[in-house]
Amino acid sequence: MDFSSKLLENAVEEMSQLPGIGKRTALRLVLHLLKQPENQTEKLVSALHNMRSDVKFCKKCFNISDTDICEICANPKREENVVCVVEDIRDVMAIEATSQYKGLYHVLGGKISPIDGIGPGDLQIHSLVERVKSGEVKELIFALSSTMEGDTTNFYIYKQIEGFAVETSTIARGIAVGGELEYADEVTLGRSIVNRIPFEKSLKNS
Ligand SMILES: [Zn+2]
């Protein structure tokens, strides 16, 4: 692309660093901002800046939060000894949208994936095992997507907590095959959480 302005080119270059945004789309977005009042761009920049500098991770479940302990963990109405293991905040949002789940979460921050160089130490697995060891967890629900990485991660955690007094279950298989958890529709996802099955049973089936 040949730009008549270095300033424009820089803005397009930075915008196109975002996933799914090619140079053409970046140019369209940047030109859109140029047409808007200047304070629109300022609001966008300060929202991004504030998010980046002030956002926290809940000290208990590692969900993204504005406070040290997130609203879900701090809510006395939630069942605090049921913990659902998910990959990231999008899964928490998807499960919350079903209104079918009253327990807490543990957000791993990804899945074990040797190809991408992501090992157990890069994820919030140690903190999860510590939660189980402390005796605060009665049931652990695995809700990672049914991919090879998801299965590997589930099994790794399962092995780590073997021998502790905790029940393990998994959301019904078949709901998210070939797709991520966040794409399952609310009714299906809600039903699969309510009708979760013992984790050992899911191993025998696969
Ligand atoms: Zn939390």
Range(s) of the domain holding residue 83: 65-205
Distance (angstroms) between ligand 1 centre and the Cα of 25 equals 36
Cα–Cα distance measured from residue 76 to residue 163, given in angstroms and rounded to the nearest whole number: 29
Distance (angstroms) between ligand 1 centre and the Cα of 18 equals 28
- Position 167, amino acid: E
Within-domain flag for 23: yes
Judged on CB neighbours under 10 Å (0-12, 13-18, 19+), 47 is: exposed
Distance (angstroms) between ligand 1 centre and the Cα of 68 equals 8
DSSP annotation of 154 reads: H
pLDDT tens digits, the chain, 206 residues: what are they? 888 999 999 999 999 999 999 999 999 999 999 999 999 999 999 999 999 999 999 999 999 999 999 999 999 999 999 999 999 998 999 899 989 999 999 999 999 999 999 999 999 999 999 999 999 999 999 998 878 899 899 999 999 998 898 999 988 755 544 445 655 677 778 888 888 888 888 776 55
If asked whether residues 104 and 42 sit together in one domain, one would say no
If asked whether residues 137 and 191 sit together in one domain, one would say yes
CA dihedral sign, ordered 142, 60, 73, 185: negative
- Position 147, amino acid: T
DSSP annotation of 80 reads: E
Distance (angstroms) between ligand 1 centre and the Cα of 96 equals 13
| Residue 139: HSE in the Cβ half-sphere, 13 Å Cα cutoff | 18
Distance (angstroms) between ligand 1 centre and the Cα of 74 equals 7
If asked whether residues 15 and 90 sit together in one domain, one would say no
Q: Tell me the pTM.
A: 0.82
If asked whether residues 94 and 136 sit together in one domain, one would say yes
Closest by alpha carbon to 12, among 43, 36, 33? 33
If asked whether residues 46 and 79 sit together in one domain, one would say no
* Token reading at 16: 């196109």
Kindly report the CATH number assigned to the domain that includes residue 179: 3.40.1360.10
* Token reading at 166: 């905790």
Residue 197 vs residues 38, 71, 140, 154: alpha-carbon distances, Å: 54, 28, 11, 14
Within-domain flag for 1: no
Kindly report the CATH number assigned to the domain that includes residue 21: 1.10.8.420
Distance (angstroms) between ligand 1 centre and the Cα of 6 equals 44
What pLDDT score does 177 carry?
Answer: 40
Place of tokens 């304070």: 39
Terminal CA-to-CA distance of the chain, rounded, Å? 50
In this structure, the strands spanning 167-170 and 139-142 are: parallel
Distance (angstroms) between ligand 1 centre and the Cα of 21 equals 32
Distance (angstroms) between ligand 1 centre and the Cα of 63 equals 6
* Token reading at 182: 């966040």
Distance (angstroms) between ligand 1 centre and the Cα of 69 equals 5
- Position 177, amino acid: V
If asked whether residues 120 and 159 sit together in one domain, one would say yes
Distance (angstroms) between ligand 1 centre and the Cα of 50 equals 20
If asked whether residues 121 and 38 sit together in one domain, one would say no
